[in-house]
Amino acid sequence: MIQQNPVFHDVADAWWIVVSKENILQYSEQPGLIRGSWQTLTEFHAWQDDVIQVGEVDSLPCYMLDLESQFVATDELDSLSLRAMLMQLPGELFSVVSRAWQVALFLRTHRFCGCCGNKMSRVDWELATQCHTCHHRCYPRISPCIIVAIRKGNQILLAKGAHHKNDMYSTLAGFVESGETLEQAVHREVFEEVGVKVKNLEYFASQPWPFPHSLMCGFLAEYDSGDINVDGEEIIAAQFYDFDALPNIPPKFSIAGRLISATEQKIRNG
Ligand SMILES: [Zn+2]
């Protein structure tokens, strides 16, 4: 899927994910992801050795170009935060921009070997960096996280995280620890964050989430026992809600939003 030596010079039309610092560039006159042929994108020609193909959407190749911090905004080009750009893109472009950002971040953070400290270089047969002194090789980092919707009778448990904006309540989530299964992580995180036990876990779906490199693994679960007792650090409030009186919840395209819908559906279906 990810090619490092694309023939991009002659492609008539393509999507261009141009990364600058923590942002994605766009033309002021044409907001959204940049599209066109390389020949027309003259302002980026100085970076031609850094073009990487990160996917394909609707038969058009998608290329990533990381300008790091070298780009200065002009009248024609401005930048949008990764989050703001992602929120306005349809599903397939969302995925490819997520991937592009993670590839850029990987290359930025693997310039030197973690074993011997020498310079790393990219290998040309897969997306990896390699140390030619000690042969240590690195791949893009992916951090698995569990995310779980807990139902009790006709209600769902929703919690307010310490960092949630807009008074948003969501499903519980947390990173999987070394040596843990996804199921163990669900039981541990739920108990740590809200003090309850759950049962009958059911795998739902997964979603890559590029802030910065999570893979959200979604589960549906049933409440088993215990009283809600929030940890006060990651979670500052939590309670079971009826579906006709939900608080502000995450958007439908996020896996949290989909888990909440799926729980409602399960309750309706009895
Ligand atoms: Zn090394």
pLDDT in tens, 104-157: 999 999 999 999 999 999 998 889 999 999 999 999 999 999 999 999 999 999
**44-94 residue pLDDT tens:** 998 888 899 999 999 999 999 999 988 777 888 888 999 888 888 888 898
Ion ligand 1, residues whose Cβ is below 5 A away = 113, 115-116, 118, 131, 133-134, 136
Which pLDDT does position 3 carry in this prediction?
53
Q: 119 CA distance to ligand 1 centroid (A)?
A: 8
Residues 6+ apart with CB under 8 A from 211: 82, 83
Strand partners, 152: 155
Confidence of residue 10 (pLDDT cuts 50, 70, 90): confident
Stretch(es) of the chain classified as CATH 3.90.79.20: 14-109
Which pLDDT does position 164 carry in this prediction?
81
- Bond before 247 cis per omega within 30 degrees: no
Q: 140 CA distance to ligand 1 centroid (A)?
A: 17
Does pLDDT of 229 surpass 50? Answer: yes
Which pLDDT does position 253 carry in this prediction?
83
Q: 40 CA distance to ligand 1 centroid (A)?
A: 40
Stretch(es) of the chain classified as CATH 3.90.79.10: 143-268
For residue 101, the 8-state DSSP code is: H
Structure tokens at 243: 């579906």
- Alpha helices in the chain, H assignment, sequence order: 82-87, 91-109, 182-194, 255-268
Which pLDDT does position 230 carry in this prediction?
95
Confidence of residue 6 (pLDDT cuts 50, 70, 90): low
**183-207 residue pLDDT tens:** 999 999 999 999 999 999 999 999 9
Q: The domain 14-109: what is its CATH number?
A: 3.90.79.20
Class level of CATH domain 143-268: alpha beta
Whether 173 contacts 147, CB under 8 Å: yes
Which phi-psi region, left, alpha or beta, contains residue 166 (left: φ > 0; alpha: ψ -120 to 50)? left
**13-41 residue pLDDT tens:** 999 999 999 999 999 898 899 999 999 99
Q: 132 CA distance to ligand 1 centroid (A)?
A: 7
Structure tokens at 30: 């044409």
Does pLDDT of 1 surpass 50? Answer: no
Q: Which amino acid is at 146?
A: I
